[in-house]
Structure 1
């Protein structure tokens, strides 16, 4: 697959690294020639220095026969125009844009990203993804990893087993008999550096890191069965009131359980913006350190 990545900053560089390692034909575009040089020197990619939204720059990057373009510059507007040019001039079939401004990400404006408007197939927001990851960890703080599936109806939990786990040395098939109403299954075990899918007769031991797929309503019960205490999060401090911190605070305010949250932000304009956007969250102007 031929891919053009616009923006060679941290996000663009990481995407280029991943796609090039999968043997895709990757070209990186950035207005900063030093960033382009860094990408071409460290990765198996080609590079073009110039404004990503300019048609002649995309032409030099091979847009005529590209399969995918990912616009991940620091400017939302440049990313939008880049996707428009990629669609209107070069008919690139798949267009992905990184957008940071929350106004562009508001669900009520999703019709904006249609072919007859702004032809963006997928909108990505790293800040929103970080906020979602933080909220998932808050929902299950005793896990080392969490991931949501089926629009939040199912959760994958990473659980490290300690010596107080009540189901150690128990064949997994017996868990169905012991907890017949539990909607959870152990789908992976990492033991001594090796990750494997367990059989029904396998047992769990101290030090194992297991991955459990469970119904979201059964998360707390699942954690208790594997020896993890579940405690309601009542007071939370968020360091930073930017897109990530503000997103977490807004989500906490929307929850039915009343969580007492505070934001500490050292930039007065950012703190004031956060305070104007929030209702119940206390915003403090100061250094979180």
Structure 2
């Protein structure tokens, strides 16, 4: 597949890394020559320095025979014009644009992106993706990472194991026997910085980070089994009243169960906008690092602080202060991946990586076959892929134990006729089933091949 990625920032670079690693023909375009040079020096990609929306720049990037354009520059307008030029001048079949401004995303203006107006096939909104990720974190407060699959029936949980975890030093196959009715599977383990797909005989140790796929009805029990008792969040302090914080506060107001939330915003104008938009949420104007203001927000009684300002260091420091003042849990928005190793020593419970959420959204629309969902784990180390099985897929009609999956791949869940079943070696994969698989990055191309249809399907 020939792909042009416009924008060589964090998101563009990560997408380029993943697609070039899968032997796609990738060209990166950015007006910053240094960013283009970084991409071409470290990745197997071509680079063009120039403005992505200029027709001559896209032509030099190979737009005449490109299969897809991904517009992920820092400017919404450049991304929109890039897609228009790619369509009108070069007839590029698929165009994805990252748009930040909420005005462009309002549902009543959705007709704007039709082919006869602005021909954008997929619009990605980082702020919406991050807000949804924050709400998922709050729904499973003791997990450091979480994502939903199979129409919300299956949840992926990232769990940090501590010394008081009751199932340490127990082979995974024995856990299956001990909890035979539990619809949960350990699909990934990160140990000493190395992520791998575990074997049935592997054991879990103190300090491991594990990824567990579980039916949503079994989430609380799964967390409890791995030493993380489920607690309901009733009092939440949100630091940052911008698009992300406002979206989270609105969602919390709309919940059936009562959640008392307060928003702290440093900008007076943003605080006033948030106060006007929210009905039951208290909005406080001031610096979230100010202990007096945190005390006024009741941080000592809060179940969680959600720090989602546009400054990583503010988010981390505010999380540390909140925890030291008695807040039970801290979730921080962290853009810079080099700061993530600080999470554990700083006692920050969970993080949200906007780059990872945006990359996952874009990958969902790039993967071949009937792929319906993709979630990128860590720094692109692995993917969890949800896909529908077609009649001519190589895995159709086979039991899981007979499918030639690579070593770094595990089946996490299977949906048959709308019902989720816990996969075993004898589970047969049939046409129409939807399956969720965990795959290390190096094995993703092979997973895609197993989901693809053969040529006679057409």
TM-score, reference length from structure 2: 0.56
Contact kept, 8 Å, 2:37 with 2:47, in 1: the verdict is no
Distance 1:172 1:57, change over 3 A: closer
Q: Which residue of 1 aligns with 2:47?
A: 46
Aligned partners of 2:103, 2:12: CA distance in 1, in Å? 22
> How far 1:23 sits from its partner (Å)?
4.3
Q: Which residue of 1 aligns with 2:168?
A: 168
In angstroms, what is the RMSD of aligned CA positions?
2.7
User: Structure 1 regions of 5+ residues with no counterpart?
Assistant: none
Distance 1:206 1:68, change over 3 A: same
> How far 1:147 sits from its partner (Å)?
2.0
Aligned partners of 2:53, 2:207: CA distance in 1, in Å? 51
Task: Return 32-41 or 213-222, whichever deviates more.
Answer: 32-41
SS of aligned partner of 2:123: strand
SS of aligned partner of 2:151: helix
Q: Which residue of 2 aligns with 1:7?
A: 7
Contact kept, 8 Å, 1:184 with 1:215, in 2: the verdict is yes
Give deviations 1:212-232, integer Å, cap 9, x for gaps. Answer: 111112211111122112211
Contact kept, 8 Å, 1:16 with 1:45, in 2: the verdict is no
SS of aligned partner of 1:279: coil
Please state if 1:148 is matched with 2:148.
yes
> How far 1:269 sits from its partner (Å)?
1.9
SS of aligned partner of 1:152: coil
Aligned residues: 287
Q: Which residue of 1 aligns with 2:388?
A: none
SS of aligned partner of 1:246: helix
Contact kept, 8 Å, 2:48 with 2:57, in 1: the verdict is no
Give deviations 1:38-94, integer Å, cap 9, x for gaps. Answer: 5556654311313x3332332233211222111122332332222122112111011
SS of aligned partner of 1:168: coil
Distance 1:202 1:7, change over 3 A: closer
Please state if 1:75 is matched with 2:59.
no
Aligned partners of 1:196, 1:24: CA distance in 2, in Å? 25
Contact kept, 8 Å, 2:240 with 2:264, in 1: the verdict is yes
Distance 1:165 1:33, change over 3 A: closer
Contact kept, 8 Å, 1:39 with 1:47, in 2: the verdict is no
> How far 1:154 sits from its partner (Å)?
1.0
Aligned partners of 1:252, 1:196: CA distance in 2, in Å? 35
Task: Return 127-136 or 6-15, whichever deviates more.
Answer: 6-15
TM-score, reference length from structure 1: 0.85
Aligned partners of 1:33, 1:23: CA distance in 2, in Å? 24
Task: Return 89-98 or 171-180, whichever deviates more.
Answer: 171-180
Task: Return 234-243 or 172-181, whichever deviates more.
Answer: 172-181
SS of aligned partner of 1:271: helix
> How far 1:171 sits from its partner (Å)?
4.3
> How far 1:139 sits from its partner (Å)?
1.6
Distance 1:141 1:61, change over 3 A: same
Aligned partners of 1:277, 1:31: CA distance in 2, in Å? 37
